[in-house]
A = this chain, B = another copy of it.
Amino acid sequence: MDDSVRQHKYVLAEDQMPTTWYNLVPDLPAPPPPPLHPGRMDPVGPDDLAPLFPMDLILQEVTGDRYVDIPGGVLDVYRQWRPSPLFRAHRLEKALGTPARIYYKYEGVSPAGSHKTNTSVPQAYYNAKDGTTRLTTETGAGQWGTALAFACALYGIECEVWQVGASYDSKPYRRLMIETFGATVHRSPSDLTDVGRQLAADPANWSGSLGIAISEAVEVAAKDPKTRYSLGSVLNHVLLHQTIIGEEALLQLELAGDTPTLIVGCTGGGSNFAGLSFPFLREKLAGKIAPQILAVEPESCPSLTKGVYSYDFGDTAGMTPLMKMHTLGHDFIPDPIHAGGLRYHGMAPLISHVKELGLLDAVAVPQSECFAAAVQFARTEGIVPAPESSHALAIAVRQALAAKETGEETVVLTALSGHGHFDLAAYDAYLSGTLVDEAVRGDRFDESLAALPTVG
């Protein structure tokens, strides 16, 4: 009888849950370039952001503090599913025949099924405290829309979600889950906004993008003083909220008595990756550990590996501040791949800055390799991963197989950011052999990169 089905879970007690979020900025050798006002072209101040965000979140966006206290009310909600488990992937390792040790931090245990609740809850909390009665947002695959709908239901805030057309069409259950939580979902581009009507006129925009959906949600929020906007990734305060993942994982690897040689996460806007890796980067900068830190993106939307580091808009219509980031151009429309959460033209400015500082690496993978890893993971570890998370798994598998060849000691830590219960049509395509890899054409970026705004 084979005993290799054993599973190791590293659990923290509730009173070991971190009570602060970690801000990487003060530990960096240089501060990140500031966002610029799109009209004035000078750094935006808190007042510029006030129409869209409550002041508590704006202050977190610009804080120089190393640690930010998590409010008691947010901790109370976090405790429904946190601390989240860290697993050693014994069964996957065995199937791969690798000497590598693979750990995954599983965020799919949250009510909404992904890491996104780590930030939706504090965002709804601070908005409720400030009297916001309605929040608008974008969503790609739907993980973020679900998470914000959940959080808004808790605090009695109305929630309106613009979902990227390609995902809206292919994932009806995601929309239904968001509606079950009481929120409203619109297919983006929609006819409810000026920008939606304008962009929908071009058939190339019909599948939508996160950039377009952001423009729509921002437009609606900007027009109504009781409505604010909520973003699921990219911004500093969102990355900040996600650092609870890495802080917990640090404690859990200590329980496991192990030290990672590679920390790998998928990147769309970058919040899951930053949440996992920044606390480890702090330890690396302090000379305590020396893992490689690796971001994985889809070949069809490779902002870190093929984009330029430049000021660009966060949305397609150019309504947001200009952010210095790795970008494929704000009007780039990625192929409608299954990992809808990774279809964003840019990258979090803070992650982009860290990459420029040489503190992280990036790699792009095709989706077929991701689904192959995801199915192997499901059949060994028992969890069906979100297509986004599968990008990190693909690299974990690559590294584990490499370790088998080289014999080099390899300890992989990855964040399994969410489950794929609403992505099974994509698994069906993979299993039935109809899933194709995105065409990777550099010339597609040329046009959108040529349209970057001129700064300074």
Q: How far is the CA of A11 from the CA of B180 in the complex (A)?
A: 28
How many chain copies?
A: 2
Residues of B within 8 A of A156 (CB): 2
- Closest-CB distance, A232 to chain B (whole angstroms): 17
- Closest-CB distance, A156 to chain B (whole angstroms): 8
Q: How far is the CA of A113 from the CA of B113 in the complex (A)?
A: 12
B5 touches A77 (CB 8 A): yes
- Closest-CB distance, A69 to chain B (whole angstroms): 16
Residues of B within 8 A of A9 (CB): 14, 79-80
Interface residues of A in 26-59 (CB under 8 A from B): none
- Closest-CB distance, A432 to chain B (whole angstroms): 9
A77 touches B6 (CB 8 A): yes
Residues of B within 8 A of A18 (CB): none
B6 touches A180 (CB 8 A): no
B424 touches A173 (CB 8 A): yes
Q: How far is the CA of A411 from the CA of B113 in the complex (A)?
A: 29
A176 touches B79 (CB 8 A): no
Q: How far is the CA of A112 from the CA of B129 in the complex (A)?
A: 38
B176 touches A6 (CB 8 A): no
Residues of B within 8 A of A179 (CB): 427-428, 431
Within 8 Å of chain B (Cβ to Cβ): is A128?
yes
Residues of B within 8 A of A176 (CB): 424-425, 427-428
Which of A337-345, A380-388, A433-441 lies at the interface?
A: A380-388
- Closest-CB distance, A277 to chain B (whole angstroms): 25
Looking at the complex, which one of B5, B76, B129, B172 makes contact with A154 (CB distance below 8 Å)?
B5
B379 touches A181 (CB 8 A): yes
B109 touches A109 (CB 8 A): yes
- Closest-CB distance, A72 to chain B (whole angstroms): 8
Q: Mark A291-329, 1 if CB is under 8 A from B, else 0.
A: 000000000000000000000000000000000000000
Residues of B within 8 A of A379 (CB): 153, 180-182
Name A80's closest neighbour in chain B (CB-CB).
Answer: B7
Interface residues of A in 169-188 (CB under 8 A from B): 172-173, 176-177, 179-182
Within 8 Å of chain B (Cβ to Cβ): is A378?
yes
Name A155's closest neighbour in chain B (CB-CB).
Answer: B5
A384 touches B154 (CB 8 A): no
B5 touches A378 (CB 8 A): no
Interface residues of A in 385-433 (CB under 8 A from B): 421-422, 424-425, 427-428, 431
Query: Given A76-B7, A79-B9, A424–B378 Cβ distance below 8 Å?
Result: no
Within 8 Å of chain B (Cβ to Cβ): is A91?
yes
A382 touches B1 (CB 8 A): no
Within 8 Å of chain B (Cβ to Cβ): is A150?
yes
Looking at the complex, which one of B14, B112, B384 makes contact with A177 (CB distance below 8 Å)?
B384
Q: How far is the CA of A398 from the CA of B99 in the complex (A)?
A: 55
A positions within 8 Å CB-CB of B: 1-3, 5-9, 11, 13-14, 73, 76-77, 79-80, 87, 91, 109, 111-113, 128-129, 150, 153-156, 172-173, 176-177, 179-182, 375, 378-384, 421-422, 424-425, 427-428, 431
- List 13 extra interface pairs beyond A150-B382, A153-B380, CB under 8 A: A5-B73, A5-B76, A13-B13, A80-B382, A153-B378, A153-B379, A154-B382, A173-B422, A176-B428, A179-B427, A180-B378, A180-B424, A421-B421
- A selection of 19 A-B contacts at a CB cut-off of 8 Å is A3-B73, A3-B76, A5-B73, A5-B76, A5-B154, A6-B73, A11-B13, A91-B154, A111-B382, A112-B382, A113-B421, A153-B379, A153-B380, A153-B382, A173-B421, A173-B424, A177-B384, A180-B384, A181-B379
